[in-house]
Structure 1
Amino acid sequence: MSLHDDAVLVLKGYEGEYEGQDGLRGLYLDHLSAHPDAMWKSCAAGHLTASALVIDPERGRVLLTLHKKLGMWLQMGGHCEPDDDTLEGAALREALEESGILGLRPLAGGPVQLDRHAIPAPCHWHLDVQYAALAPAGAIERISEESLDLRWFSYEEAARVADGSVVRLVERTRAALEGRNTP
């Protein structure tokens, strides 16, 4: 199965319980249908990306990266690569590359949320499929070349430094961990 096929299956199975998520799911599926190259950075109409919020629920914190190009505190993530077999695998690969943390485990249940955001030309959109990754006990992070900084934030601190998309991702990840829904 190709990464494109995996993305279609993941999105068809994504329940999108939060406001606007079902519409984004439909937009992503339409984009995949219209663009055979929708998984790759070369797709100028926009492309799918994969990201993962690294979370340490035992200590009530998340690991965020200060993105080098954007100057914003974000979850780990980026472009899919030809060796990626699944979206979840791409998200975990990105989380490992950007955090240096070995032994990350995906939060069960698939993507936590979808987020579509504009990026500068020549491409116009990132259609991000956002997962959560559980950090093992005693995890030690290591900054990568892609970051200006890498830091653990309490849930409350993350809400003060990150944008709305990351704040929603943190809230929805916490809700998924607790087995409940949140806006």
Structure 2
Amino acid sequence: MTRAVGRPITEVLSRYRTEDPAEAADVGRIRALTESAADPWLRSIPLHVTASALIVHPGSGRVLMRWHVRLGSWLQVGGHGDPGETDPLGVALREAAEETGLDDLVPYPDESLVQVVIVPVPAGGGEPAHEHADLRFVLATGSPDAARPEKPDAPLRWMTLPEAMEVTAEANVREALRRVGTLLARTGAGTETAGTETGTARG
């Protein structure tokens, strides 16, 4: 039987349709994790769940990217659940607000996942190499200029989707951005063209 703490994860996954065999395999591993782990969010286990978000400004069709020093790349925002948290979307919303200062974030266009992927994380910060079972959502803001970096070494930058695809070093993030582009096109987003940058940009 699914452990209670993992139930919100399995419920989110039950509504999600994978797009390729690799993603289906990752979903299978995450389902197995929720069955076997007392708490699939625990950072102390080699594979644990994280939740992240690609933040968009529908008016301009831009996406907000964050520089990750440890991985040396521009990525989406997000991370680990805090003790007692079990809802993936709730974790993504909290992490996104903390990392960007945006207080108007909402799921876009609904609460559906946009991607599920297991990614390797190199050793660092006192942690051994491990894997993140990352559940990814899309969040929207109506006040892009209000974004502020959480710390100086984690600058934020609003980018067009082609710009974001060019600067990220992670293939799985480029795939997430491709899906975001499809979503934005389907919802008719992207009527402005002005660019905005927050923090110190690094390429």
Taking structure 2 as the reference length, the TM-score comes to 0.80
For structure 1, which segment, 13-22 or 103-112, has the greater mean C-alpha deviation from structure 2 after superposition?
13-22
Deviation by residue 1:90-128 (Cα, 9 ceiling, x = unmatched)? 001111111111100112141100121111343521110
SS in 2 for 1:98: helix
1:22 maps to: 24
Taking structure 1 as the reference length, the TM-score comes to 0.88
Alignment of 1:80 onto 2:87: no
Once the two structures are superposed, the pairs formed by residues 76-155 of structure 1 within 5 Å of their partners are: 76-107=77-108, 108-121=110-123, 122=128, 124-145=130-151, 147-155=153-161
Equivalences, count: 179
Task: Quickly say closer, same or farther: Cα 1:96–1:147, change in 2 above 3 A.
Answer: farther
What letter is aligned with 2:7? D
What is the aligned-residue RMSD (CA, Å)? Answer: 2.1
Alignment of 1:67 onto 2:68: yes
Asked whether the 8 Å contact 1:54–1:62 carries over to 2, the reply is yes
Asked whether the 8 Å contact 1:98–1:146 carries over to 2, the reply is no
Asked whether the 8 Å contact 1:77–1:91 carries over to 2, the reply is yes
What letter is aligned with 2:178? E
Please say which structure displays the higher CA radius of gyration.
Answer: 2
SS in 1 for 2:12: helix
SS in 2 for 1:157: helix
Structure 1 residue runs without a partner (length 5+): none
Asked whether the 8 Å contact 1:65–1:147 carries over to 2, the reply is no
2:196 maps to: none
Asked whether the 8 Å contact 1:14–1:25 carries over to 2, the reply is no
What letter is aligned with 1:56? H
Deviation by residue 1:41-67 (Cα, 9 ceiling, x = unmatched)? 122x21000000011121121100001
For structure 1, which segment, 1-10 or 126-135, has the greater mean C-alpha deviation from structure 2 after superposition?
1-10
Asked whether the 8 Å contact 1:46–1:123 carries over to 2, the reply is no
What letter is aligned with 2:52? S
Deviation by residue 1:128-179 (Cα, 9 ceiling, x = unmatched)? 0011101114541100128432111111111110122222111112223444
Asked whether the 8 Å contact 1:101–1:141 carries over to 2, the reply is yes
Identity of aligned residues (%): 32
Asked whether the 8 Å contact 2:74–2:167 carries over to 1, the reply is yes
Alignment of 1:169 onto 2:176: yes
Task: Quickly say closer, same or farther: Cα 1:143–1:41, change in 2 above 3 A.
Answer: same
Asked whether the 8 Å contact 2:50–2:132 carries over to 1, the reply is yes
Task: Quickly say closer, same or farther: Cα 1:12–1:2, change in 2 above 3 A.
Answer: same
